[in-house]
Amino acid sequence: MLGVTKLQVKQKDFLQLADFSSEEIHYLLEVAQEMKAQQKQGIPHPHLSGKVLGMIFEKSSTRTRVSFEVGMLQLGGHGIFLNSKDLQLGRGESISDTAKVLSRYVDGIMIRANSHKEVKELAEHATIPVINGLTDVHHPVQVLADLLTILEHKGKLAGLKLCYIGDGNNNMAHSLMEGAVKVGMDITIASPPGYLPNGKITEKAIADGKQTGASVIITNDPVKAIKDADVVVTDVWTSMGQEEETAKRLKDFASYQVNKELCQHAKADFLFLHCLPAHRGEEVMAEIIDGPHSVVFDEAENRLHAQKAILKILLEK
């Protein structure tokens, strides 16, 4: 048995952090910490013995595939890699039919997809848990790992200031907003005009922040955003599927690079996070991502532990 307080997570699926209460997110983090400690001590934790996770990939992956597959093995279960092109989805089978069929074979579905709308449709028709491994709008598994990393290094979450610099209209910015306010962290996002976060997601994050005392500030000024930040986060300027926009984005984001000069405005003991892969010399300079403030590889490792918590809680029901 885990030594953390038992809490019933109401959600069947893990699609976006806004769906979860502050208490549920803290519980997920507690479970992740406990299982990480067990793994480091060599204590087996086969909570999902005999369980099978179907893993659908529409986008290429390093961390998502390996961490989910290894996580299922460490939990005593098994993960099956399913390339979307090899499924009947690639030949026009409906999402609803795929959801119903897979629900008869496996105990859960993790999907890394292009469209968040399609992932919601998959979850609607599946009778088993569906986990969002990444979509165009949200990346909740990554942000849960980010929160775990910050908690480990800072010893707390509430009251900290997180600053995200870069493309505000992407999955990381959206999920960081949702996750930060749920745990009482203030968040500022600095993006160029035309790249601001989704308005509805921002409005919901502001409302949720009022419940925890957390603020959400959106600005075009990176210096203003990063001032006194405890945590600095960025992401690539050109995500998968946006390659044709590369030249324009390099120009638009030129003044939003995370470098030594900009980070002088953050707190002296700030943490730097990046979900990876990173493009050194573009969104971040090597002196930052490879420097003493960077915890990007702790962050990458914590994908495994955070996702094991999600898998245990959803699939063990």
H/E segment holding residue 186: strand 186-190
Phi, psi of 275 (to 5 degrees): -70, -15
State how far the Cα of 298 lies from the Cα of 288, in Å rounded to an integer: 15
Asked whether residue 188 is marked as a ligand-binding residue, the answer is: no
Asked whether residue 63 is marked as a ligand-binding residue, the answer is: yes
> Would you call 299 exposed, middle or buried from its count of C-beta atoms within 10 A (0-12, 13-18, 19+)?
buried
Q: Is 163 a catalytic residue?
A: no
Asked whether residue 142 is marked as a ligand-binding residue, the answer is: yes
The per-residue DSSP string of 45-107 comes to --TTTT-EEEEEESS--SHHHHHHHHHHHHTT-EEEEEETTTSGGGGT--HHHHHHHHHHH-S
Asked whether residue 64 is marked as a ligand-binding residue, the answer is: yes
Residue of 139, 249, 274, 293 marked catalytic: 139
Asked whether residue 104 is marked as a ligand-binding residue, the answer is: no
State how far the Cα of 260 lies from the Cα of 291, in Å rounded to an integer: 10
Helices 296-315 and 140-154: angle between axes, nearest 10 degrees: 120
Asked whether residue 114 is marked as a ligand-binding residue, the answer is: no
Residue of 275, 293, 305, 307 marked catalytic: 275
Residue of 26, 47, 112, 305 marked catalytic: 112
Residue of 235, 249, 263, 293 marked catalytic: 235
CA dihedral 166, 170, 172, 176 (to 10 degrees): 90
Q: Is 303 a catalytic residue?
A: yes
Residue of 26, 274, 303, 305 marked catalytic: 303
Phi, psi of 247 (to 5 degrees): -60, -45
Residue of 33, 142, 257, 307 marked catalytic: 142
Give the bridge partners for 188, in sequence order.
163, 217
Q: Is 33 a catalytic residue?
A: no
Asked whether residue 84 is marked as a ligand-binding residue, the answer is: no
Q: Is 235 a catalytic residue?
A: yes
Asked whether residue 139 is marked as a ligand-binding residue, the answer is: yes
Asked whether residue 280 is marked as a ligand-binding residue, the answer is: no
Q: Is 280 a catalytic residue?
A: no
Q: Is 112 a catalytic residue?
A: yes
Asked whether residue 275 is marked as a ligand-binding residue, the answer is: yes
Active site residues per annotation: 112, 139, 142, 235, 275, 303
Residue ranges for the binding site for L-ornithine? Answer: 171, 235, 239-240
Residue ranges for the binding site? Answer: 61-64, 88, 112, 139-142, 171, 235, 239-240, 275-276, 303
Residue ranges for the binding site for carbamoyl phosphate? Answer: 61-64, 88, 112, 139-142, 275-276, 303
